[in-house]
């Protein structure tokens, strides 16, 4: 078994996930969202911090309650960078690592009566040269910290403006029939430890500078999955069902 499939837990290699794997890093394989989804579908991990649409478009999962990656407004790492006005956009290049963000963007644009063509972004180094590009995670943060001449449409802010609700970007998906109380308790404890040690993460983590880490992890990213977040998730399900030709599965929480 290769290194990326050697653990029972999988997560993403982004700054926003760091507090959720605090203390269990050595037990966790880190890959981008699209690859992580492939691992859990193949049964190579039993728990994965996947993009929300993975559990909405695929049966066979249960969702760990109380834990998620969410925002209650601007998220700063999921956005459309665009040179053209939204109403004039014909083509958007989309980060191929993303699963949920593409669907969120499609929902937001459809609510405005817009249906541009989505094409893959195959080379991050070309992102600033493109007129309209959807970028997520650390690559999105890198984009914002480099010179650019685009307008930025933060999808967390756009969702909150549309619905008044938080948006849930990622959840712990548990492979039905392949998780137990020990695994669930480990993931819950990792979140508790991560939030209890958030000041240490902000001070010591190597990604970016401490001022940015503090604003991002303390103000923009949130980690609870409670009533408001579930209401936001239900609204997303409702909107996906109106425009998707695939079945959308209601999440089952454990």
Q: What is the pLDDT of residues 106-118, one digit of tens each?
A: 999 999 999 999 9
Q: Are residues 66 and 179 in the same domain?
A: yes
Q: What are the b/e assignments for 148-165, b being 16+ CB within 10 Å?
A: eebebbbbbbbbbeebeb
Q: How would residue 6 be classed by pLDDT, with cut points 50, 70 and 90?
A: low
d(CA 161, CA 163): 6
Which tens digit of pLDDT belongs to each residue from 187-207? 999 999 999 999 999 999 999
Q: Are residues 128 and 111 in the same domain?
A: yes
Q: Domain of 155?
A: 78-163
78-82 and 132-136 beta bridge pairing: antiparallel
Contact 223, 70 (CB under 8 A): yes
Which tens digit of pLDDT belongs to each residue from 39-60? 999 999 999 999 999 999 999 9
Q: Are residues 114 and 182 in the same domain?
A: no
Question: How many structural domains comprise the chain?
Answer: 2
CATH number for the domain spanning 112: value is 3.40.190.10
Q: Are residues 171 and 62 in the same domain?
A: yes
Q: Are residues 56 and 180 in the same domain?
A: yes
Is 93 part of any domain?
Answer: yes
* pLDDT on residue 252: 95
CA–CA distances in Å: residue 168 to residues 10, 52, 78, 133, 150: 18, 7, 12, 21, 26
As a whole number, mean pLDDT of residues 112-134 equals 94
Can you give the pTM of this predicted structure?
0.93
d(CA 66, CA 41): 23
* pLDDT on residue 244: 80
């Amino acid at each position: 078994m290769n290194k990326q499939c050697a653990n029972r837990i999988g997560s993403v290699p982004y700054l926003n996930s760091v507090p959720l794997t605090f203390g269990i890093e050595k037990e966790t394989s880190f890959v981008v969202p699209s690859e992580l989804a492939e691992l859990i579908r193949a049964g190579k991990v039993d728990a994965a911090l996947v993009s929300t649409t993975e559990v909405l478009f695929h049966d066979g999962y249960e969702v760990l309650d109380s834990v998620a990656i969410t925002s209650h407004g601007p998220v700063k790492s999921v956005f459309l960078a665009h040179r053209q006005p939204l109403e004039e956009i014909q083509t958007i290049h989309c980060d191929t690592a993303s699963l949920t963000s593409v669907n969120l963007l499609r929902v937001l644009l459809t609510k405005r009566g817009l249906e541009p063509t989505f094409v893959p972004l195959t080379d991050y180094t070309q992102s600033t040269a493109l007129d309209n590009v959807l970028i997520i995670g650390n690559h999105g943060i890198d984009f914002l910290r480099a010179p650019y001449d685009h307008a930025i449409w933060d999808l967390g802010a756009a969702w909150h403006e549309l619905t008044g609700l938080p948006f849930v970007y990622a959840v712990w998906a548990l492979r039905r029939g392949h998780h137990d109380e020990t695994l669930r308790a480990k993931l819950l404890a990792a979140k508790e430890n991560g939030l209890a040690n958030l000041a240490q993460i902000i001070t010591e983590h190597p990604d970016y500078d401490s001022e940015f880490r503090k604003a991002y992890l303390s103000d923009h990213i949130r980690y609870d999955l409670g009533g408001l977040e579930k209401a936001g998730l239900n609204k997303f399900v409702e909107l996906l069902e109106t425009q998707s030709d695939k079945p959308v599965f209601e999440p089952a929480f454990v």
